[in-house]
Structure 1
Amino acid sequence: MLSDVAAAAERIRPYVRHTPVMRVEVEGRSAVFKLEQLQLTGSFKVRGALNALLGAAERPERVVTASGGNHGLAVATAAALLDLPVTVYTPESVPAAKARRIEATGAKLIRHGATYAEAAAVAMAVPDAFYLPAYDHPLVVAGQGTCAAEAIAAVPEVDTLVVAVGGGGLGAGTVLGAGGRHVVAVEPEGCQAFHDALAAGHPVDSPVASVASSALGATRVGDVPFAILRAASSVLVSDQQLLAARDRLWEEFRLAVEPAGAVPFAAWLAGLVPGELPCLILCGANTDWTPA
C-alpha cells in the first residue's frame, strides 16, 4: 500500500540520499531518469534494507543475508549505520567490485555456491540470526517503493515508470509507489524470472544467463513481490540491447551504470515503453566497468 511506502520514507529519511531526477530528450522523445545509481551504496537496495531493519519488531542482535552483490552491500551498509554485526553470503561468482565494497563496510563475507539460491539456502540456515531477504519481504518492498514515490513527487506529470526486475522487490515497490501509474517491468532475455512466473501464473524456477545476472539473477521471483508486480507489464531486452544502452548512457549523458541499471533505458530505446513521459529508474552503479 502507498501508506506503507510513506511510512518507509519516514523511517529511512535520516540515512538515505534523496536522489535527483533528470529530464532528457532522445530522438525526439522525452523521458525522466531517476538517478538511483547515485544512492548510498550505489543502488536502491539500501532503502529496503534500512526499512526492514528499522521496522523489525525487535532490534536484531545479528544480521545475515544472501545476495548477488548489491543487496549484500546494502545490508552491510545499513547494519553498519545501525551498529549491527552482519554476515553476507554470496555466490562464488560475485563480482570483485561488489565483494570488495561489502568487506569494506566491516561485514563478514562468505562465498558459497554457484547461484544466489545456493548462497541463500546456507544463509537462511544460520541459527540465532535475523535473516534479511533480498526482496521477498513486505518491509523490503515498501522501502524500495520510496524510490518511485520520490520520482513522482519530483515530476508529477510522469505517466509510466520503467524498472529492472530480478527478484521483484524494486518492481513491486515501484507499483506501490507509482500512485496508480502504469509500471513496465523489464528483464534481460535469459534472466527472466518474472516473465516466466507470469506465463505460469505463479513463481517458478527460471534459468539465469545474462551479463546483468549479478544484479538481476534471481532464479525465482519472490512470492510477496509477485502478488503486487502482476499489475505491471513484462518486457524483455537482449544483452546486446542493454549493453548498448549502458554505453549510450555514458556517451550521451555521462551517466555510469552497471548493466542492470541500463535495462529500463534499453526497453525505452527499443520502443517497448508506452506513455508520453516515462520515468526510467537507473537502479545501480556497482561495477568496475570503465567507459570507453
Structure 2
Amino acid sequence: MQDLKKLWALLWPDAQPTPLLELPPLTQLAGIGRVFVKVESERPLGSFKALGGMIAGIRALAAASGIADPSDLFTGKTARKLPRLICASEGNHGLAVAAAADKAGTQAIVFLPREVSPSRASRIEAFDAEIVRINGTYDDAVAAAATAAARGDGLLIADTASDPDSPVVNDVMAGYGMLADELIDQFRERPLERPTHLFVQAGVGGLAAAMVQGLQSLLRPPQQYLIVEPDAAPCVARALQVGEPTLIEGDLHTSASMLACGMVSAPALRILQRHSVASVLVSDVQLHVAAAELRSAGGPATTESGATGLAGLLQVAARHDLRSLHQLDNDSIVLLIATERA
C-alpha cells in the first residue's frame, strides 16, 4: 500500500484525503445514531475511480515496458514509446485511464455504451483520448474493449474481469483500498464513533469488495456490510445468490447510470464471498429521493449513483423487518460513500 500511496502522490502532488462529514439530518431521517459520509466528489477527477484506473494504468504501462519504477513513466526518466491504454467505461473509469495515459505521455481508447452522456465523453476527450461508442450496454463495451486489446490495439485496463486473479483488476481494487485506509485514519481520531454499518453501492463490485476487505478492522459489532444496487442491474446480488458471476439480461437502464452493469467482476466476487455481506436493491424513485435528501442534509451534490448507498440505508430504515434483519437501531452508526461529483 505504501508503494501505491507514493505513486498517487506523484500523480497528484496536491491531493489530500477526501472529507468525512457527519450529517445529523440523515440520522433523524433514518432513525439511527449517526451518519458519516465520505465525500469522493473532492477526489481528483471527481470520483473514487481515479484511485483505481490511474494506479492500474500506470502500473500496467511500467510492467509492459520493463520499467521497474512506475514513477519513471511521468518524471521524464524514460524515452520509450509506450502502448496505448484501452478500457470500457460508463464514464469515471474511462476518465481515470485517460488521465493515466495522458500523464505517461500516451493515449487511451475508451469504449462507451450508448447511454453515457456527451458531457462525460467530453471530459474523457479532454485528455486526448479516443472515444469509441458502442450501441449496447456497459457489458457490450467491456467485450469490445477486450477484443481491441486482444488484436494488439493497446493494453487493457479493465475494472472487471472473469479471471479472479486478473492483475490489472486487482490493481484497480488495490487503488480503491487507499480510500479504506483514509477512513481508518479519519476514524482513529474518533474511536467512540466507529461505524457499525457500511452501505456501499456496487456496479461490478470493485469498490464494495475493496471497502468490505479494507474496513474489517474499522467496523464494530454488529459489523454489517450492505451492498446496494439498482433493482434494474443487480449483478452482485445475483452472483452472491447463485455463487458465481451470472449475466443480467436486458438494457439495465437505471438513473444510477454508473452502476448499470450486467456481470459482476470475478475478483470482486471472490473477496465478497469471503466475508459476511448482504444485498439491498433500490428503485429509481428511491435513488432520486436519496440524491435530493443527501444534498438537503448538507451533504455533497452528487448523482443517483453517488447516493445509492443512502438509498439503501433509507430503504432498510423504513421497514421494521429489514431493520431487524440488518440489526439497524437507534444506536447504529452508518458509513456512506458519496462516490462522484454531480
TM-score normalised over the length of structure 2: 0.77
The aligned residue for residue 173 of structure 2 is 141
* Amino acid in the other structure paired with 1:19: T
The aligned residue for residue 157 of structure 2 is 132
The aligned residue for residue 70 of structure 2 is none
143-152 or 180-189, which deviates more:
180-189
- Per-residue deviation at 1:6? 5.0
Q: Deviations over 1:64-90 (max 9, x none)?
A: 111111111111122222222111110
- Per-residue deviation at 1:274? 4.9
The aligned residue for residue 241 of structure 2 is 199
Q: Alignment partner for residue 98 of structure 1, among 117, 120, 126? A: 120
RMSD (Å), alpha carbons:
1.9
The aligned residue for residue 161 of structure 1 is 198
Q: What's the % identity of the aligned pairs?
A: 31
Q: Alignment partner for residue 268 of structure 2, among 214, 225, 241? A: 225
Whole-Å Cα distance in 2 between the matches of residues 135 and 84 of structure 1? 23
Describe how 1:234-249 pairs up with structure 2 within 5 A.
Answer: 234-249=279-294
- Per-residue deviation at 1:53? 2.2
Task: Tell me which structure has the larger Cα radius of gyration.
Answer: 2
Query: Is the contact between residue 88 and residue 142 of structure 2 (CA under 8 Å) also seen in structure 1?
Result: yes
Q: How many residues end up aligned between the 2 structures? A: 281
- 1:266 and 2:298 aligned: no
- Per-residue deviation at 1:197? 0.7
Query: Is the contact between residue 84 and residue 101 of structure 2 (CA under 8 Å) also seen in structure 1?
Result: no
* Amino acid in the other structure paired with 1:64: I
- 1:281 and 2:337 aligned: yes
Runs of at least 5 residues in structure 1 that lack an aligned partner in the other structure = 288-292
Q: Alignment partner for residue 49 of structure 1, among 48, 53, 60? A: 53
In structure 2, do the counterparts of structure 1 residues 99 and 226 end up closer, same or farther at CA, with 3 Å as the change threshold? Answer: same
Whole-Å Cα distance in 2 between the matches of residues 13 and 92 of structure 1? 34
Whole-Å Cα distance in 2 between the matches of residues 13 and 236 of structure 1? 36
- Per-residue deviation at 1:7? 4.3
62-71 or 20-29, which deviates more:
20-29
Query: Is the contact between residue 142 and residue 176 of structure 1 (CA under 8 Å) also seen in structure 2?
Result: no
254-263 or 171-180, which deviates more:
171-180
Q: Deviations over 1:219-256 (max 9, x none)?
A: 10011110002222211112111110101122221521
The aligned residue for residue 290 of structure 1 is none
229-238 or 193-202, which deviates more:
229-238
* Amino acid in the other structure paired with 1:281: I
* Amino acid in the other structure paired with 1:194: V
Describe how 1:46-85 pairs up with structure 2 within 5 A.
Answer: 46-56=50-60, 57-59=63-65, 61-85=83-107
- Per-residue deviation at 1:263? 0.6
In structure 2, do the counterparts of structure 1 residues 53 and 111 end up closer, same or farther at CA, with 3 Å as the change threshold? Answer: same
